[in-house]
Amino acid sequence: MKSSFAFCVLLSSSAVFAQGKYGLSPTTYARYQASVRANPDNALVDLKKFIPGIVLDIRYATTDNFTHARVYSKAMAYARKPVAEALRKAQADFNAVGYGIEIYDGYRPYSATVRFYELMKGDTTYVASPYKGSRHNRGCALDMTIVDLKTGKELAMPSPYDAMQKESWPSTPVSDSGIRKNRDLLISTMEKNGFKVYTTEWWHFDFTGWDKFDVLDIPFEQLALH
């Protein structure tokens, strides 16, 4: 496995070949800015600033992820404006029953998707295909769980985050009633607020209408400046 430093170097250089290697030309920062001027809904919103009390645990800014390397230079989470607004409503629903949202990942630069795909040698069961780009690349997908507001601890779920196993599938039966209740609450609340859970990951939620947004390849460093 490559070191964290080596992985970050590869990720940075991948931005060069990501532009077209798999048939896509992701939107760059200049084009993104123009699209936001034309339609404010295209803006990527800083979720930590936008949603009161939201917790971030950005695993790809650490080595605690399936790559075992640091992918992001900054522990930040962004989503398109309508996605952030829907998530804020979900946060209010969770708060009403004593829970809150914890985000593992939001917007993901296309270059990272390319790297994940190549690490997985083309297996798209748990990573997206760079030929189409992911919902994360569009700023319309969230990896998340819920926490107890009193203790700050994550609620027990059927598997850890990013676990590539059948227990991670939302359709997999769960014998433990408490864990099943937690998963059902997470999924039902998010779906009530305009999201759909992904077929192989209980933690992954796609925003309805994601296909209206372009694939982006903008690093967090640029987004953090504005």
* CA triple 137-210-18, angle to 5 deg: 25
Contact call for residues 15 and 119 (beta carbons, < 8 A)? no
For residue 3, the model assigns a pLDDT of 41
Contact call for residues 143 and 175 (beta carbons, < 8 A)? no
Number of domains in the chain: 1
Question: How many alpha carbons lie under 13 Å from residue 76 in its C-beta half-sphere?
Answer: 21
In angstroms, what CA-CA distances link 47 with 54, 68, 88, 119, 226? 8, 25, 9, 28, 14
pLDDT of residue 153 exceeding 60: yes
CATH code of the domain containing 135: 3.30.1380.10
Which residues make Cβ contacts (< 8 Å) with residue 141, sequence separation at least 6? 106, 108, 134, 135, 198, 204, 205, 206, 207, 210
What does the mean pLDDT of the chain come to?
A: 91
More confident residue, 100 or 21: 100
| Domain that residue 217 falls in | 4-224
Q: Name the band, by pLDDT with cuts 50, 70 and 90, for residue 226.
A: low
Q: In degrees rounded to 5, what are phi and psi of residue 152?
A: 80, 5
pLDDT tens-place string over residues 177-217 = 999 999 999 999 999 999 999 999 999 999 999 999 999 99
Q: What percent of the chain clears pLDDT 90, i.e. is strictly above it? A: 87
